[in-house]
Structure 1
Amino acid sequence: MFVLDAHGHPLDPCHPARARRLLAAGRAVVARHTPFVIRLKDRSAADSTVAGVQVGIDPGSKHTGLAVFTGHEGSRAGRYVIQLDHRGALIRDRLTSRAAYRRGRRWRNLRYRSPRFLNRTTPKGWLAPSLRHRVDTTVSWVARLTRWAPVAAVHVEKVSFDTHALSAGRPLEGAEYQQGTLAGYEVREYLLAKWGRTCVYCGASDVPLNLDHIHPRSRGGSDRVSNLTLACIPCNQTKSAAPVQEFLKDKPALLTKILKQAKAPLRDAAAVNATRWVLWRALEATGLSVHTASGGRTKWNRSRTGAPKSHTLDALHVGELETVTAWPSTVLVVTATGRGAYARTTPDRYGFPRLLRSRIKLRHGFQTGDLVRANVPAGKKAGVHTGRVLVRSSGSFDITTRHGRVTGINHRHVRHLQRADGYGYTTQKEADRND
């Protein structure tokens, strides 16, 4: 648990059992519900020895892993892990929809609009809103962690995949082709992400996968990543040196899908690579000591420590380390939900206003997105429900819990736990160590 002193300055995190004892003894109060933060009444940072913690970041297109850990001399112990779920895809889709509405209104000649000249330029360093969102939310959570814990350094993957180096066509030979060196891990991890960690020919998963040349090398095929895919051992042996067109002559739909996907770049890798420098510069601007590493290095670290694949464990294994002694069993999943829409109307299928939205967000002291607990004494909804609330002017609220949505909760049974901050919170189990 995160701990603050009497003046709100961060101290070293403590075990949940110790936090419960401090609260029960009256020595501490709850400063924040999620993530759980306590504030000591009788302790000052000036009178305490603070060892400090470090933060690992595994940036992703859809999810970003954050890990708070302690350690020295290459050994790490995870203290708190967070999976940050972005909403970049939703932002992209809504901007595309808005552009389609505007384009349709112009071309239907429903109103006169003077021509626009092609003199609009984007400022230097501009990022698309969906990409900027990923950077801003990641930096925002690093700033939050520095308020709750004495963060001394940040370790971040500066690049998940070096797509320029991967496309250079450097031959994979010897041990690198068979089991992978650190450089080989870059290629393998890229292909695993691109092809969904399954055999492209039979769809088998959770089995050993080999690198397979779509166009065989014996017939002039190259070692470029666009010519590589994943195949299980039986399919790889059956295909052998046959061209993929001959091997899949009875499955034309699968053949078309493989050839199309082979030429397409990995969209998630492109999004991460587009924001890597911006994220690094933003972290440097915080004044923290920032260390960078590659995604191949992270996977190599996980293979040595026996840790399974997850966003949070990747964050724990970023950079140089020798071993990881422990990690939390529970992951806090933080989903970016936003703070509401700017639009005051809801459009119809043609983009015209369909109805007006209320400008009043606060209903009976609550607003949509607040973290609440409802204690319903009787009826079909009897019980305790904890989650994000959706408010209505009628006073009948909906609460989204980890088990689903509970509808029709009267506002009189609802109590605040935490005001809306643009994120939704749930928990899930962390992966167990590999045997």
Structure 2
Amino acid sequence: MVYIIDQYGRPLMPTERYGKVRRLLKNSKAKVIKRCPFTIQLMYDSTAYTQDIMLGIDAGSKHIGVSATTADKELYAADIELRNDIVELLSTRRESRRTRRNRKTRYRKPRFNNRKRGDSWLAPSVRAKVNTHLKVVSDIYKFLPISKIIVEVASFDIQKIKHPDISGTEYQQGKQLGFWNVREYVLYRDNHTCQCCKGKSNDKVLNVHHIESRKTGGDAPNNLVTLCETCHKGYHNGTVKLPKTIKRGMSFRDATFMGVMRWAFYNRLKELYPDVKLTYGYITKNTRIENNLSKEHYVDVRCISGNPLAEPLGYVYYQKKVRCHNRQIHKYKINKGGVRKRNQADYLVKGFRLFDKVKYNNKEYFIFGRRTSGFFDIRDLQGNKVNKGSISCKRLKYLYTPNTYLTERRFTGSA
């Protein structure tokens, strides 16, 4: 499928007449403006006839499914992998900032309550994913004349998941009702007894320990356990091991994210585009079963678009969102002798940028690491290295520079 925009930048209907596209490019009546998905711009005045195109979006916390269809044919399908490293990066930055302040400004007056948050404030990790959803839609509007958007979101009742029999006023009477804070609840839950030695150390000082680090597991009660100070210090010193029965409980991070972002994303879409509708997973499932379709992600998104029986495209554009900038000046770990190594490389190294798409041995890869010596680390979209060592830039052929998305085409086998 070749996507077309007119000379004024307005999207037209895509085409599969590859011979005509080749002649237009050869005669300079069109030019290539994007390689993946392949998009051309006409250099002459043309008609602006379009058909109704429905855009189905399967919103998610880790992946976004997209399918643009007419009544007869699927025109575009994509699976976008979202970034999930923002929480860790922010935690690392916070650690660096606090240690730096302890070294540089030890007597600086504490300031914790000097920041105001608006009613529409979202956590940075949630805001980044919502913005990625919006950018995906905006990019599709640049090469397809979309008529209507249908968004599938999920609604989770976390308390119902934890306690299937909950009802009525029980929603207002959680396990932590009557406790001052989470710590008091955890101590009461564990009967004020160390869960490692069961009181054999005779240490009366109790601590609340994170099973997983606070960075990844958070402060939820199912990630906390009571340990005496002897066991707590021994665990962090490496002399004590926790029993195998102590495990982190079920995580509801993705469910919480969907509950927060669905309305933020949907309301923002309605502000930007004229015709936006909402749907839910059970409707998609019913549509798929009624039309006797297989349970695949790209099939579900086609059902969301409202045209489940449209002819499949036969391939899906798999995209991975990567960070746009890395403003960290120095490496987090200091070398021997107190030398801080710079974290930022030059903008261009031997004419290549980070994440450039290149061809090596007739296969396409992405540059994940550059060295001034000219030997680069190239990988596929899953992050698998081509070989154990680096590859000379002289053996690489530059293809193009992605715009915040690493993209490759994957065949689905159903055309």
Same fold by TM (over 0.5)?
yes
Partner of 1:416: 398
Please point out which of 309, 315, 322 is paired with 1:324.
309
Structure 1 pair 431–168 and aligned structure 2 pair: CA distance change class (3 A): farther
What SS class does the counterpart of residue 424 from structure 1 fall into?
A: strand
CA distance in 1, matches of 2:43, 2:392: 36
Residue ranges of structure 1 left out of the alignment (5+ in a row):
172-251, 375-382
Partner of 2:69: 69
Q: Structure 1 residue 396 and structure 2 residue 378: aligned?
A: no
Residues 365-386 of structure 1 deviation map (CA, whole Å, 9 limit, x = unaligned): 3211122335xxxxxxxx3342
Kindly state the Cα deviation for residue 42 of structure 1 after the two structures are TM-superposed. Answer: 4.5
Structure 1 pair 98–372 and aligned structure 2 pair: CA distance change class (3 A): same
What SS class does the counterpart of residue 100 from structure 1 fall into?
A: helix
CA distance in 1, matches of 2:42, 2:120: 43
CA distance in 2, matches of 1:426, 1:299: 28
CA distance in 2, matches of 1:145, 1:288: 15
Residues 247-305 of structure 1 deviation map (CA, whole Å, 9 limit, x = unaligned): xxxxx979x87xx75xx463212111110111112212222311111122122222222
CA distance in 2, matches of 1:353, 1:315: 52
Partner of 1:99: 94
CA distance in 2, matches of 1:317, 1:134: 23
Please point out which of 122, 145, 148 is paired with 1:150.
145
Residues 384-435 of structure 1 deviation map (CA, whole Å, 9 limit, x = unaligned): 34222243322333332367436644434544322231221233343769xx
CA distance in 2, matches of 1:8, 1:414: 33
Please say if residues 12 and 149 of structure 1, whose CA atoms lie closer than 8 Å, have aligned partners that are also in contact: yes
Please say if residues 70 and 307 of structure 2, whose CA atoms lie closer than 8 Å, have aligned partners that are also in contact: no
Residues 105-142 of structure 1 deviation map (CA, whole Å, 9 limit, x = unaligned): 66789833222253433222111111111111111111
Please say if residues 302 and 308 of structure 2, whose CA atoms lie closer than 8 Å, have aligned partners that are also in contact: no
Moved more, 356-365 or 408-417: 408-417
CA distance in 1, matches of 2:244, 2:294: 34
Kindly state the Cα deviation for residue 149 of structure 1 after the two structures are TM-superposed. Answer: 0.7
Please say if residues 368 and 420 of structure 1, whose CA atoms lie closer than 8 Å, have aligned partners that are also in contact: no
Please point out which of 349, 364, 373 is paired with 1:386.
364
Structure 1 pair 384–367 and aligned structure 2 pair: CA distance change class (3 A): same
Structure 1 pair 432–110 and aligned structure 2 pair: CA distance change class (3 A): same
The 5 Å alignment of 1:49-128 reads 49-71=49-71, 77-87=73-83, 89-103=84-98, 111-128=106-123
Structure 1 pair 14–404 and aligned structure 2 pair: CA distance change class (3 A): farther
Partner of 1:335: 320
Partner of 2:386: 405
Structure 1 pair 392–126 and aligned structure 2 pair: CA distance change class (3 A): same
Kindly state the Cα deviation for residue 360 of structure 1 after the two structures are TM-superposed. Answer: 2.3
Moved more, 275-284 or 152-161: 152-161
Kindly state the Cα deviation for residue 316 of structure 1 after the two structures are TM-superposed. Answer: 1.9
Partner of 1:228: none
Please say if residues 19 and 38 of structure 1, whose CA atoms lie closer than 8 Å, have aligned partners that are also in contact: no
Kindly state the Cα deviation for residue 68 of structure 1 after the two structures are TM-superposed. Answer: 1.1
The 5 Å alignment of 1:281-320 reads 281-318=267-304
Residues 123-167 of structure 1 deviation map (CA, whole Å, 9 limit, x = unaligned): 221111111111111111111111111111111024344557878
What SS class does the counterpart of residue 346 from structure 1 fall into?
A: coil
What SS class does the counterpart of residue 407 from structure 2 fall into?
A: strand
What SS class does the counterpart of residue 107 from structure 2 fall into?
A: coil
Please say if residues 57 and 64 of structure 2, whose CA atoms lie closer than 8 Å, have aligned partners that are also in contact: yes
Structure 1 pair 92–43 and aligned structure 2 pair: CA distance change class (3 A): same
Structure 1 pair 19–273 and aligned structure 2 pair: CA distance change class (3 A): farther
Please say if residues 346 and 353 of structure 1, whose CA atoms lie closer than 8 Å, have aligned partners that are also in contact: no
Partner of 1:141: 136
Counterpart of 2:407, as a letter, is Y
Partner of 1:22: 21
Please say if residues 53 and 148 of structure 2, whose CA atoms lie closer than 8 Å, have aligned partners that are also in contact: yes
Partner of 1:9: 10
Please say if residues 377 and 385 of structure 2, whose CA atoms lie closer than 8 Å, have aligned partners that are also in contact: no
CA distance in 2, matches of 1:293, 1:165: 21
CA distance in 2, matches of 1:133, 1:358: 23
What SS class does the counterpart of residue 309 from structure 2 fall into?
A: strand
Please say if residues 160 and 295 of structure 1, whose CA atoms lie closer than 8 Å, have aligned partners that are also in contact: no
Residue ranges of structure 2 left out of the alignment (5+ in a row):
167-242
Identity %: 27
Structure 1 pair 265–306 and aligned structure 2 pair: CA distance change class (3 A): farther
CA distance in 1, matches of 2:390, 2:160: 56
Partner of 2:266: 280
CA RMSD of aligned residues (A): 3.4
Counterpart of 1:341, as a letter, is N
What SS class does the counterpart of residue 79 from structure 1 fall into?
A: strand
Partner of 2:33: 31
CA distance in 2, matches of 1:29, 1:48: 18
Please say if residues 332 and 426 of structure 1, whose CA atoms lie closer than 8 Å, have aligned partners that are also in contact: yes
What SS class does the counterpart of residue 324 from structure 1 fall into?
A: coil
Please say if residues 58 and 311 of structure 1, whose CA atoms lie closer than 8 Å, have aligned partners that are also in contact: no
Structure 1 pair 112–347 and aligned structure 2 pair: CA distance change class (3 A): farther
